[in-house]
Structure 1
Amino acid sequence: VPIGTPGKLFISGAGVARGYLNKPDLTREKFIANPFIEGERMYDTGDLGRWLSDGNIEFMGRKDHQVKIRGFRIELGEIEHAVLQYGSDLKQAVVEAKESNEGKVLIAYFTASASIDKSELRSFLQGRLPDYMVPAFYVELEELPLTPNGKIDRKALPGVEGEDLIRNPYVAPRNETEEKLVVIWQQVLGIEKIGVTESFFELGGHSLKITRLISEYYKVFDVKMSLKDLFISETLESHSDLIKASKKNEYVEIQKVEDNESYIISDSQRRFWVLSQFEEESAAFNMPAYIELNGNYDIESFKRAIYHVVDRHEILRTVFKVDDSGEIRQWILSKEQLDFNINYLDFREKEENEQFVKSYIEQDSYKLFDLEKGPLLRASLIQLLDDKYVFYYNIHHIVSDGWSNDVLIKDVFTCYEAFKKGENPELPHLRIQYKDYAAWQKKQLEEESFQLHRDYWLTKLSGELSILELPTFNKRPAEKTNKGRMLGLYLSKEISSKLKDYCQQNSGTLFMGLVASVKAMIYRYTGQEDIIIGSPIAGREHFDLENQIGCYLNTLVLRNEVKGNDSFNDLYANVKQTALDAYTHQKYPFDRLVEELDLKRDFSRSAIFDVLIVLQNNGDKKKNITLTSDIADSIIDYGAASSKFDLSLYFEEIDDRLSCIVEYNSDVYDNDLMEQFLKHYKIMLLKLLEQSHQPIAAIDYLSGEEKEKLLCTFNNIKYNPEKLTAI
């Protein structure tokens, strides 16, 4: 791995043991072939580390002591270290992540020689750790459980109860609205006895759960709340005030359609179908994913669970064909017609079996789906050891999205646990299926309220739409390709903290700050003032869509005019308003918008925008990245990728830093340009935050080395005037 990039620590040489006594499976797992010296072996320590620029290796903790919660990769040891700094009375501490009420939560276990005020301990940690690393529960024990070897037995740590959660002083609900809100909050957060002065976010709420609140409020109170309002108002009593002040909007269920041979498709499905007719485009809409499973699994029960989920969600048994009238329709197949099978692969006898798994996944990831015949889901259970598996699946975007993948996994494991016990799985009742949503969406588009959404977007995107013209030496292919590459870097603690503080002080979100800064960078690179970017949004505002699998994802178009004389403060305010307006009108399908605009088709580009920005805060992306201290100032090359747009920027909060991954079309832009873009963006962002009142055109984003080259090296020309010839 490059300098500064985390990797696993291995030991090789004459001192490496032959293996574990009478434990062949563990020996096979830990003692592997040395890829650098033929015939030698090396030992997998299970630890993580990284090279430093001086040649030393920095220890970064153990791989099995890292967790991912709400999209954040967390090193438990870092939290434990912070807990132990609280005071001399606190003797031992261990932090564990456990499943609780629809998600993982952090639990701090500790022993102490004197009474510890848990509220003060939490306040202490809030001043030293990012919010997502502060434990939600605090459990004091007389002693920590130990294994026979004297190590802390994490599996023996007890569960948590309500009193282990740090709470504000309890204030009971004072009216019927607050009583109903308490019930909703308890269901969404999985916490009992919630008071009206408590904060949704302090109780473990986040953006995805706010989406659930919006759906619940619509169903119970007949009001439609905005994300903006609920982000600003955190307490239960403030939500009560918002509901009382809101205009009633009667809740309407999504109606079921009558059974038929085939059904209409949604706008997003139509666009994916059209794009998938081009072979190279089709593979770009594959959504491969895998999960490592540790422990003894009942293979037959696991297979049965997957089959049950496929049977439960009609969309997983759906294919797409043109009917006799020439219309693209969706057809729902029976289990027998679908011919869906789960692959079981036993790699236990293969040496370096993890490499076989990697190769298998890489090959299948680009394997095309047949939209007319199906199935549009492939699943494999791969066994590496007696107690280690990989569950791999690949699904086409026309029947799924990131949220759906979470539903699929949750359903599979709920069914597995039930089948293993000989019980029937208890899953939320699905009153409707995707075909009902597609018909409902079509009906919604005909209503007068949707005319307002349509008018907003047609006005916002009226006139000539600019196209991105970043400098490049490559000639753009006549037809758009998906050949891409991924580069990444990490923003320092200082820059990340400054950006978050700036957004909070200006009553906005981190996403708005990222969009504004990227637009400022694009303006400085191109001089273009009309800058258009896209960003995905879940598209599940209706309560009935929460537990569904299907393609509900919508895309927002964010168009702003950037002037050189504008300050970053001006641009941020402009982007903030644009984003809030886009959220308000998010129901109008992007795919319908593309058709409505009647654009002149340019087969070398994407429709409307060429740049996509994503802030990943829902855990969809799985990257094996852990940061515990400052990382080297270097660009990381993640290798080849399938690029759907000219330029896609994926941001993610990791510890108290922001990571930025750029996925670019390598047929359009070269690697040097993208490396330069990332380096300049890092400098530009810091300068924008430090000089937010200065004109954007005056912000200096060149490094000292670049200035030296431009001003001195390139101008260091020696000449003799006497030898010049005048013409």
Structure 2
Amino acid sequence: VVIDKEKEGGDKYLICYYVINNEINDKEINSKIIRNYLKKKLPTYMIPNYFKEIKEIPLSSNGKLDRRGLPEPSIEDLIKEEYVAPETEVEKMLCKIYSEIFNINIQEIGRMDDFYDLGGDSLNSIRVISHIAKTMNVKVNMKDILNNSKVFELANRIEEIRITAELNNSNSNIKKRNLKEYPLTTKQVGYMANKLIDNKLTENSILGRDMTKFMKFKTNADIDKVKQGIYELFDRYEILKTQFISKEIGNKTKFYGKIVDDLKLSISDLKMNEINKFVEAPPINDGSSLIKFGFVEDKYLIIKINHAIADGYSLGTLLNDLEKLYKGEKLDEIEYNFSDIAYDLNEKLENGYFEEQYLYYKNLLPSDYKLLNVKLPLKNNYPKDKKRMAAIEGKTFIIHKNNKDIIDQYSKENKISKNAIFVSLYAMIVSLYSHQENIFSRMIVANRSEDYKQNTFGLFITNLPLILEINKNKSINEIIKINMKNLLNLYKTQDLTYQDISQRYDEYNHIEPRILFKYQHQSMMNNESSIIFENDEASESEGIIKILKSNYIYDITVDISETNDEFLIQVGHDIDVYESTLINEISTKFIHLLSNLSSISNKNVNEVENILQSEFK
């Protein structure tokens, strides 16, 4: 019998329980023999990770399997490749990293062991990347791990990186400056200055936009203790005390962040009828803190933080640290302030450190690049002013556990990121309506693969141009793999921003950014184990349509969030640009393809389009 189980961290695995009947079997049978037999009959993702011999299959009173009667597997039940000791220093270091990440005795991991057989997936590949950067000072990417999944293969790839000088030593070069003024990064300027008039920062200028987070307190939450923790975090992260200033240097306006040590934190006690006014107020350059907290009748907490000083990952860090302080735990020491990294990044840009990344985007666009503008049917007389407050309609879809398992298995079997699956299928549906084989979009990238960025509070997230290729004569599987390569190339250039690229290559200013993709795992942003806040109930929002005012420049946004049990997909669009019926049709077909991935993956795009046309008449 084979069943699925979960580890403490939420990782899923398969275990096979078997009974040997010695009266029938005259040949030796053991776990390895069974596993080797299954490898000839089944795809990789269907082969159990653990094999455990038992005396009999436990049954319930009605003759069905009694799962509770099955013993828990131990590490001895994990079947791996025949052990071959690591030979080189790099192989030994990789075995040590895998031992720590997968909680397996280092003496049991050899040079022939496979990342996926050990339980690897896209999430813990990020941890592998971080460990390699920290212990070997080598920057690898997800593509390196996917294409070199055995220990010796990845070790060889690391040696190649060292030999060919592809190494990025950004961590070791960062200086701790301890300065109270720092140059804003291109990302920060992009968020902060997009509402400035004539690029001038004056008193009462609008400073871009805020991120907003709503949370409901548990009934027994100590509000005074929460406020005390918030004040401690305000003093902990210096970037929260940033004020923006500008300087005229060589006929150019340059923007800086100034750390004001005695800046007063903005905390408001609100009534229910004051929530909208608090949330909708734009961030103003009035000397107040760029992070604001609203306590609503001791029932809710609202956090507003300017996007130019933080991203969603940092907001998650803030909430996790608040939980730790509330429980009386000590926080880790801060290795780098964001100002140190901002200085380092600006120096590298000025010194041509990222020329290879720029070159990729120079060669990305075809000569007839204007043909990349997405040609979905527009509303008549749609507004072309991208600085207006757009009316964004958002609708939520959920891929529940059964279909999520299918997507997870497909991803693991084909060594393809789930991100590539989502963007490829959505682009394929868009191409059905736009009649284009190249769909120009932008992709939000977390940009935190380096270890030091994971522990630094600030803005690292970036969005980059992504061309999704839809060749109608190729299979869905081939299309996803092609776009997987495009995504991996994008991840290798995430030090840049779209603004950097468009300033260097004017062609990018003439392609309208119709579609924005975002993919994230909610592990940093959920309240599942919170002792302060109620859990986020994502499932309650399925199918709900919300309309809000936004200064987004994108006409369509596709935001995919992954939890352990489901995918939450939020599709937003500008209702002044596209008809809601059109976007809802695209989204519905997109969800349909995701739910039927296993049956369509080997069909070519033309076949799938015909199936969709017959099913959605």
Distance in 1, matches of 2:79 and 2:333, equals: 34
Structure 2 counterpart of 1:557: 465
Instruction: Give, as a single letter, the amino acid of the residue that structure 2 aligns with 1:327.
Output: T
Distance in 1, matches of 2:162 and 2:96, equals: 22
CA contact (8 A) 1:262 1:329 kept: no
Give the superposition deviation at 1:589.
2.6
Structure 2 counterpart of 1:316: 240
Structure 2 counterpart of 1:218: 133
- Whether 1:334 and 2:266 are equivalent positions in the alignment is no
- Greater Rg, structure 1 or structure 2? 1
CA contact (8 A) 2:266 2:288 kept: no
- Output one character per residue of 1:161-190: Cα deviation in whole Å (capped at 9) or x when no partner: x99878737989867556644664576678
1:683-694 correspondence runs (5 A) = 683=592, 686=596, 690=600, 692-694=602-604
Say which of 600, 620, 640 aligns to 2:547: 640
Give the superposition deviation at 1:446.
4.2
Structure 2 counterpart of 1:276: 195
Gaps (5+ residues) in structure 2?
A: 14-30, 36-44, 51-71, 527-535
Distance in 1, matches of 2:487 and 2:328, equals: 43
- Whether 1:472 and 2:378 are equivalent positions in the alignment is yes
- Whether 1:286 and 2:201 are equivalent positions in the alignment is no
1:674-685 correspondence runs (5 A) = 674-683=583-592
CA contact (8 A) 1:524 1:697 kept: no
Structure 2 counterpart of 1:399: 309
CA contact (8 A) 1:487 1:636 kept: yes
Give the superposition deviation at 1:663.
0.7
Distance in 2, matches of 1:163 and 1:700, equals: 47
Structure 1 counterpart of 2:491: 583
1:615-626 correspondence runs (5 A) = 615-619=519-523, 624-626=537-539
Structure 2 counterpart of 1:671: 580
Going from structure 1 to structure 2, the CA distance change for 1:412 and 1:468 (only over 3 Å counts) comes to: same
TM-score, structure 1 normalization: 0.63
Q: How many residues align?
A: 534
CA contact (8 A) 2:424 2:483 kept: yes
Instruction: Give, as a single letter, the amino acid of the residue that structure 1 aligns with 2:307.
Output: H
Instruction: Give, as a single letter, the amino acid of the residue that structure 2 aligns with 1:196.
Output: I
Going from structure 1 to structure 2, the CA distance change for 1:437 and 1:640 (only over 3 Å counts) comes to: same
Distance in 2, matches of 1:583 and 1:367, equals: 35
- Whether 1:253 and 2:172 are equivalent positions in the alignment is yes
CA contact (8 A) 2:191 2:308 kept: yes
Equivalent position SS for 1:418: coil
Structure 2 counterpart of 1:537: 445
Distance in 1, matches of 2:96 and 2:604, equals: 49
Going from structure 1 to structure 2, the CA distance change for 1:295 and 1:185 (only over 3 Å counts) comes to: farther
Q: CA RMSD in A?
A: 4.5
CA contact (8 A) 1:470 1:526 kept: yes
Distance in 2, matches of 1:245 and 1:194, equals: 26
Give the superposition deviation at 1:648.
1.0
Equivalent position SS for 1:548: coil
- Whether 1:375 and 2:289 are equivalent positions in the alignment is yes
Equivalent position SS for 2:308: helix
Equivalent position SS for 2:318: helix
Gaps (5+ residues) in structure 1?
A: 1-81, 87-94, 108-118, 124-130, 137-161, 348-355, 420-424, 628-633, 708-727
Q: Quick one: percent identity of the two aligned structures?
A: 20
TM-score, structure 2 normalization: 0.72
1:297-316 correspondence runs (5 A) = 297-316=221-240
Instruction: Give, as a single letter, the amino acid of the residue that structure 2 aligns with 1:328.
Output: K
Distance in 1, matches of 2:598 and 2:430, equals: 13
Going from structure 1 to structure 2, the CA distance change for 1:382 and 1:684 (only over 3 Å counts) comes to: closer
Structure 1 counterpart of 2:365: 461
Instruction: Give, as a single letter, the amino acid of the residue that structure 2 aligns with 1:376.
Output: L
Give the superposition deviation at 1:673.
2.0
Give the superposition deviation at 1:255.
2.6
Equivalent position SS for 2:430: helix
CA contact (8 A) 1:688 1:699 kept: no
Of residues 185-194 and 218-227 in structure 1, the stretch that sits farther from structure 2 once superposed is: 185-194
Structure 1 counterpart of 2:59: none
CA contact (8 A) 1:498 1:689 kept: no
Equivalent position SS for 1:394: strand
Going from structure 1 to structure 2, the CA distance change for 1:291 and 1:670 (only over 3 Å counts) comes to: same
- Output one character per residue of 1:197-231: Cα deviation in whole Å (capped at 9) or x when no partner: 68767888664543343233123213221112324
Structure 2 counterpart of 1:128: none
CA contact (8 A) 1:379 1:391 kept: yes
CA contact (8 A) 2:376 2:434 kept: yes
1:496-507 correspondence runs (5 A) = 499-507=407-415
Of residues 195-204 and 227-236 in structure 1, the stretch that sits farther from structure 2 once superposed is: 195-204
